[in-house]
Structure 1
Amino acid sequence: MTTIIKRLFIYTLLIFFILPMITGVKTASAASNDPLNLEAEAAILIDAETGKVLYEKNADKRLGVASMSKMMTEYLVLESIADGKIKWDQKVLISEFIHKLSSPNLGLSTVGLTEGEEYTVKELYESMAIHSANASTVALAELVAGSEENFVKMMNEKAEELGLENYYFVNSTGLNNSDMLGRHPAGTDENEENLMSARDTAKLAYHLLKDYPEVLEIASKPELNFRGTVYKNFNWMLPGLIYEYKGVDGLKTGSTNFAGYGFTATAILDGQRYISVVMKTPSQAARFTDTRNILNYAKGNFGKTEVVTENKAIKGNESLAVDKGKENSVKVAPKNSLDLVIKNGEEENYKAKVVIDKEKLNENGELTAPVKKGDVVGYVTYEYTGEGEDLGFLYKDKPIKVDLVATEDVEKANWFVLMFRSIGDFLVGLWDGITSTVAGWFS
C-alpha cells in the first residue's frame, strides 16, 4: 500500500510541476521560431509582382477571415462591371431586409441604407470597400447573382478558379451567419463564418491587384463621404489615420469574435509593392502593429535582383545542337529578364536554371532545322543554392519562369549538303572503326 501511495505522489508531481515546465519550453520554442514575434496566429508576406513568399507563419491554417472575405465580393463586382453585366452608375433599390441589416442598432459596420431609396453601384461599392458596410455588400451580391445564395456559389467557384485551397465561403460579408437576421444564405448553417488561410487570403489579394488594379483608387481613401456623412476607413494605416504608414494604400480589414482582428495590407516600399496578411490578432492595435513589423521587415531586409537578363545567354547553355541545318547549332537566350525580390545578402545564392523542352528535340537531343528566331525551346527559372530556406511562391506548383528562345535563324540545309554530310559522317565512322580495330591489335 505504501508503494502505491509513493507512486501516486510521484505521478502527481509529474502532472503538476514537470509537465507544465515541458509545455512552457515548447511554447517558448514555438514563439522563438517566429523572427518577427507577431501576435497574429497566422501571417504571410509576399512580393505583389511575382507572388514570391518572403515570410510566413502558419500560412496554411484555415481561420476565420471576417470582412477580409469582402475582397472576393469586390473581385466579383469588378468582374461583373468589366464584363458589362452591371454598371457603376446603375441604381439599386433597397429592400426591407437590406434596410434592417443596415440599422446601427445591430452594431455592424454600416452606412444606413433607407428602404425604398436607390443607391448607385459605386456608392454601395465605396461603402463596402472603405467602411466595410455589410448591408451594402449583400445588396451588391443580390444585384450580381440574383440572391446571396447564388453569390456564395460564385465565391466558392471563383476561389477554386483562382487556385485557393483552404477556404470556405458561406456569405458575402464575412459576418457570422447568426448576424444576418435569420436570412443567411440557404444551405449554410446559421452559426457559420467564412474561413480562409493566410496564404489563400494573400492569393485573393494578389489576383485582385493583378486583375483589377483600379481597386486601389477606392481602397486608398482614408475616409468616405456618403451622402453628407463622413466615415473613416477601417484601414488605420492610410495617410492621416492613427497608424499611418508611408506607402500603404490598401487593402481590407476584418474582425468578428470568432476570427479576431485581421488585416490584408498592401504597400509600395522603395518602389516595390508588397502584400501582407495577419489573421487572428487579439486587438485592433495588434493587427496594425503586426503589419507595421512585417512591412518594416520587408523594407529593411529585401531588394529586387535580376536573376536572368533578357537576351543574355546562360553560361553553359549558350546554344543547342541542330540536325539537318546549314549550321550545326543555334544560339539561345532568355526572351525576358527575371527579377526576384531576395533577402539582402542572399543574391549570390539564386542562380539561373535552364530547362529544355524535350518534346522539341529528336532522339539525339537535337533541334531539327529549320529553326526560326524567337522559337521557344524551353524556359529559364531559378534554383536556390544557399543554406537558408527559400519559401517559394504562392503557387508552389507553378515556378516562375521566362521563355528560352532561339536568337537566330537556322535554315534547313539542301539535299546536296545533307548528302555529302551523310557521306562524311559515314567515312568518319568507318575511319574511327578502323583505327579502333588497329589499336586493338597492339593493346
Structure 2
Amino acid sequence: MKKIFCLLLITISFFGGAVKADDNFDVSARHAIAIENSTGKILYEKDSNTSAGIASITKILTVYLVYKEIQAGELKWDDKVKISNYAYGLTTNYETSNVPMEAREYTVKQLVEATMIASANSAAIALAEKIAGTEPKFVDLMKKQLDAWGIKDYKLVNASGLNNSLLGENIYPGTSSEDENMMSAKSVAIIAHHLINDFPDVLKITSQTTADFAGTPITTYNYMLPNMSYARDGVDGLKTGTTELAGASFVATSTENKMRIITVVLNADNADIDTNARFKATNDLLNYVSQNYEARTLVAKGKSYRKSTAKIVDGKEKTVSSIAEKSLTVIEKKTAATAGKLKIETSEKGYVATVKKGSKVGKAVFYDSDLVGDGYIGQVPSVNLLAKKEVKRSFFLKVWWNHFVIYVNEKL
C-alpha cells in the first residue's frame, strides 16, 4: 500500500510538472508570436508588440505586392524585368545574399523564386523597381499597404531588408545610412497571414528547398523544410532574415494537428554560437502549440446549433430554424471546456416575412475567455445563421389584426 501511495505521488508530481512547464514556456528569442491562421487566434506571444529589426523577412511584404499586381492584371509571371545598375551592383557585394544576374533581364517568376528561396536582395529590388519605377516609390506602396491593414509600428526604408549602409546613395529620402526595416513580431505575423490567405500559391515556392535560377542552382535558407538539416514535418514556408540589428530571425508556417500555424521568432538567443538557433526556437514553439492546442468545429455548414431559431414577424410561422452558413471551427487549449462559449445573436424584434430560404437571420459568435496577448489579430470567430426554409407572409387580414393588437397594447 505504501508503494502504491508513493507511486501515486510520483505520478501526480510528474503530470503537475508537465503542466507547469507548459504554462511557463519561454521561447529562446527576444520577440516571438504564434497564431493559428484560419482564426487569427494568438497562441503564444513574447514581447510581440515591440518594434524590432526584421531583415529579409521584409521580402514577404515585397512579394505580397508582386502577387497583388499580378492579381490586378498589372503584371504577369512571364513579364521580363531589367536589372538596374543599382540592383546589379549589389550582386558583387558578398556581404549580401544574392544570385548572379549577368543576363541583366529575368522574368517576374524567376525573381520571386530567387527572392523567397535564395533571399536574393537584388531580385527584390528589381521587382520593386519594375512595379513602382524606383525602390523609394515602392517603399511608399509598402507603407500604404501596412496602413490599410492597420499596422502602425513599422519603419520601412527599402524592399529587401538590408541595412542602408550597404545601399550607398540608393537609400530612401530622409533616412540615415544606418537605418533598417523594423516592426513588431505581431505585425510580421499579420503580413504572413495576409500573404498565405490572399495568395496561397506562394507556398508552392516557399516549400521548395532548391530551384533553378537561369541555370544557377539556388538553395533555401529555411532549414526546417524536408531533407534540410532541421527538417520538421508540416513546415512549408516562409522566410528567414538576418542582420546585425535583427539577429537570426524566422517567420515560419506549418500544419500542426490540422491547424495552419504561423510563428515569428525575432532575434533568436545564442545565434552567435548556434547557426540553427532560430530553427530550434521555432521548433520548440511549434511543439508547444501542437501539444497544447487543437481545432474544434462547433457547428458544421448547413447544420443548426442547439436547434436555434429566429423570430418571424407577420409570417405564417412564428419562427424559423437557423443553420450555419459555413462551418465554425475554433482553436482551444486541449484542456479547455468549449461549452457555453458560442452565443446566438438574433433580432429580438424578429424578421419581417416573407423571409426567404438562405437569408441571414442572425449570427453565432464565439466568446473566447482563454486569450493570449491581444487575443486575435482580427475578429473573433463567428458565422452567419441563415433561414433553413422560406417563411411566407401571412394572410393580409391576419397581419392587419396583429398590427392592430400591437398598437392597442403599446399605444392605448
- Bucket of the pairwise TM-score, normalised by the shorter protein: 0.7 to 0.9
Q: C-alpha displacement at 1:420, in angstroms?
A: 5.0
Q: C-alpha displacement at 1:391, in angstroms?
A: 5.8
Tell whether the 8 Å contact from 1:171 to 1:185 is kept in structure 2 after alignment.
yes
- Residue by residue, what CA displacement relative to the aligned partner does 1:340-384 show, whole Å, maximum 9, x if unpaired? 12211214356211222x5xx6xxx23322222222122111123
Q: C-alpha displacement at 1:164, in angstroms?
A: 2.2
- Cα separation, 2, equivalents of 1:422 and 1:96: 78
Q: C-alpha displacement at 1:34, in angstroms?
A: 7.4
- Cα separation, 1, equivalents of 2:373 and 2:125: 41
Structure 1 partner of 2:63: 74
Tell whether the 8 Å contact from 2:88 to 2:104 is kept in structure 1 after alignment.
no
TM-score, reference length from structure 2: 0.86
Choose which of 262, 279, 282 in structure 1 pairs with 2:249: 262
Structure 2 partner of 1:393: 376
Structure 2 partner of 1:320: 310
Residue 408 (structure 1) aligned with residue 382 (structure 2): no
Structure 1 partner of 2:15: none
- Structure 1 vs Structure 2: percent identity of aligned residues? 35
**Is the alpha carbon distance of 1:290 and 1:417 closer, same or farther for their aligned partners in structure 2, counting shifts above 3 Å?**
same
Residue 93 (structure 1) aligned with residue 93 (structure 2): no
| Structure that is richer in helix per residue | 1
Which residue identity lines up with residue 94 of structure 1 in the other structure?
I
Tell whether the 8 Å contact from 2:356 to 2:390 is kept in structure 1 after alignment.
yes
Which residue identity lines up with residue 101 of structure 2 in the other structure?
L
Structure 2 partner of 1:179: 166
Which residue identity lines up with residue 285 of structure 2 in the other structure?
I
Cα RMSD, aligned residues only: 2.5
**Is the alpha carbon distance of 1:385 and 1:171 closer, same or farther for their aligned partners in structure 2, counting shifts above 3 Å?**
closer
Structure 2 partner of 1:191: 178
Which residue identity lines up with residue 87 of structure 1 in the other structure?
K
Q: C-alpha displacement at 1:231, in angstroms?
A: 3.1
Note the 1:42-441 alignment, pairs <5 A: 42-105=31-94, 107-114=95-102, 117-282=104-269, 283=271, 284-315=275-306, 318-348=308-338, 351-356=341-346, 358=347, 365-384=349-368, 392-395=375-378, 398-419=379-400, 421=402
- Residue by residue, what CA displacement relative to the aligned partner does 1:92-117 show, whole Å, maximum 9, x if unpaired? 22222222111144x11011222x63
TM-score, reference length from structure 1: 0.81
Tell whether the 8 Å contact from 1:62 to 1:198 is kept in structure 2 after alignment.
yes
Larger gyration radius, structure 1 or structure 2: 1
- Cα separation, 2, equivalents of 1:326 and 1:94: 70
Q: Which has the higher contact order (CA 8 A, sep 6+)?
A: 2
Q: C-alpha displacement at 1:146, in angstroms?
A: 0.4
Tell whether the 8 Å contact from 2:356 to 2:391 is kept in structure 1 after alignment.
yes
Which residue identity lines up with residue 393 of structure 1 in the other structure?
Y
**Is the alpha carbon distance of 1:324 and 1:146 closer, same or farther for their aligned partners in structure 2, counting shifts above 3 Å?**
same
Tell whether the 8 Å contact from 1:34 to 1:57 is kept in structure 2 after alignment.
no
**Is the alpha carbon distance of 1:350 and 1:182 closer, same or farther for their aligned partners in structure 2, counting shifts above 3 Å?**
farther
- Cα separation, 2, equivalents of 1:424 and 1:113: 82
**Is the alpha carbon distance of 1:414 and 1:212 closer, same or farther for their aligned partners in structure 2, counting shifts above 3 Å?**
same
Give the number of equivalent residue pairs.
386
Which residue identity lines up with residue 49 of structure 1 in the other structure?
S
- Residue by residue, what CA displacement relative to the aligned partner does 1:184-207 show, whole Å, maximum 9, x if unpaired? 122333221111111111111111
**Is the alpha carbon distance of 1:426 and 1:401 closer, same or farther for their aligned partners in structure 2, counting shifts above 3 Å?**
closer
- Cα separation, 2, equivalents of 1:119 and 1:415: 71
**Is the alpha carbon distance of 1:280 and 1:422 closer, same or farther for their aligned partners in structure 2, counting shifts above 3 Å?**
closer
